[in-house]
Structure 1
Amino acid sequence: MDDAFSPLVLMRHHYPLRGVMIDNQPWVCAREFALLIGHRHPERICRLMDADQVRTVPFRSASGQVEVVEVISESGLYRVLCRFTHPENRNLRRWLSHVAMPTLRDTQGGAGDTPRRTLMAWEKQQINLLDWQGELWIPLSELPSFHGSAQHEDNKRRSLLSRWWRRESRV
């Protein structure tokens, strides 16, 4: 199958989510998205979709094997998030909107002088970077998790708050 797509693998909480660009639109693997949101029956996720929100495409793995999978469009993703409410879905929607979908769109290519998102694997996690003018940029919001000192800072902050709380509650 020469027309198989080579998907980009996005990671969210150690769960892979394969995505591709088809006709300038992002599409992701339906089964993997269902597992990501914790759906009990991932094979049923496509039943509530309209015909233009789901399709079957061949994915080529890194080893060269071809697998036929059902994929969901971007509008289908948000439809699923609205249908299956869960407290984590707000964070998942933000991740989809700010990291996953822009990263998929940037894999499409374009002019070399415009900034592009890219993913860097680092110690069992993925970090969203911006590749611009030959330099890699990391968002400040991801810097503590990248550096590893976030836990130390969080413990310091927690200990200061607990000391203040104990002092205030005695008064």
Structure 2
Amino acid sequence: MSPSDSVLIPSTFLRYHRQLRVVLIERQAWFVARDLARLTNSHVTERVIHRLDPDQHRKALLMGPRGAAEEELLVSESGVYALLAVNFYHPENRSLRQWLSNEVIPVLRDEEQHNQHLPRRRYGQALGRELGLLDWQGTLWVRAKDALTLLETSP
């Protein structure tokens, strides 16, 4: 299984009864573009994304609200600030930027610091099956029962 097959579990923040999902990837905050667009009453189009630098956007699998993996377009922290300053410019977005900088990012980093030594549950794919994994101290662990099932069904 490659790291790109991992299903990430986002942290969810609420602002004006709208969700903003964020994940930390390699200690960097990545925001779900669709959620950001809802918060700013904007649209994330291909043209908007192509204005960002290539390292400011990516796609990833996120755990959805119903437990299924969903591919989402993510925007990096610097990409969000660029979008807010240029593409989604509106005076109200100043308070959104402040909320992101002063509340969302610090909470994410505090969670990461606090949970650094605790195991985290993730999901991944192996041999066409979705597996529950445990990410602990930089190593992915699979339940023995799931590992045996994979071994029995592998070609």
- TM-score scaled by structure 2? 0.65
Task: Give the equivalent residue in structure 2 for 1:89.
Answer: 93
Note the alpha carbon deviations across 1:107-152, whole angstroms, 9 max, x for none.
213489xxxxxxxxxxxxxxxxxxxxxxxxxxxxxxxxxxxxxxxx
Note the alpha carbon deviations across 1:44-75, whole angstroms, 9 max, x for none.
44232110000000001243200000100000
Q: Are the counterparts in 2 of residues 30 and 46 from structure 1 also a CA contact under 8 Å?
A: no
Question: Which of 9, 33, 38 is 2:36 aligned to?
Answer: 33
Gapped regions of structure 2 (runs ≥ 5) = 117-155
Task: Give the equivalent residue in structure 1 for 2:54.
Answer: 51
Structure-2 change in CA distance of 1:86 and 1:5 (3 Å): same
- Provide the C-alpha distance between the structure 1 equivalents of 2:15 and 2:65, rounded to a whole number of angstroms: 20
Gapped regions of structure 1 (runs ≥ 5) = 113-171
- Provide the C-alpha distance between the structure 2 equivalents of 1:37 and 1:86, rounded to a whole number of angstroms: 8
Residue 7 of structure 2 is aligned to residue 10 of structure 1: no
Task: Give the equivalent residue in structure 2 for 1:75.
Answer: 78
Structure-2 change in CA distance of 1:109 and 1:63 (3 Å): farther
3-state SS in 2 of match to 1:86: coil
Task: Give the equivalent residue in structure 2 for 1:127.
Answer: none
- Provide the C-alpha distance between the structure 1 equivalents of 2:73 and 2:109, rounded to a whole number of angstroms: 19
Rg larger for: 1
1:7: how far off? 0.3
- Provide the C-alpha distance between the structure 2 equivalents of 1:24 and 1:86, rounded to a whole number of angstroms: 29
Percentage of pairs with the same residue: 39
Task: Give the equivalent residue in structure 1 for 2:102.
Answer: 98
Residue 24 of structure 2 is aligned to residue 21 of structure 1: yes
RMSD across aligned positions (CA): 2.0
Divergent runs of 4+, >3 A:
none
Higher relative contact order (CA 8 A, sep 6+): 2
3-state SS in 1 of match to 2:41: coil
Structure-2 change in CA distance of 1:99 and 1:75 (3 Å): same
Q: Figure out how many residues of one structure are paired with residues of the other and give that number.
A: 111
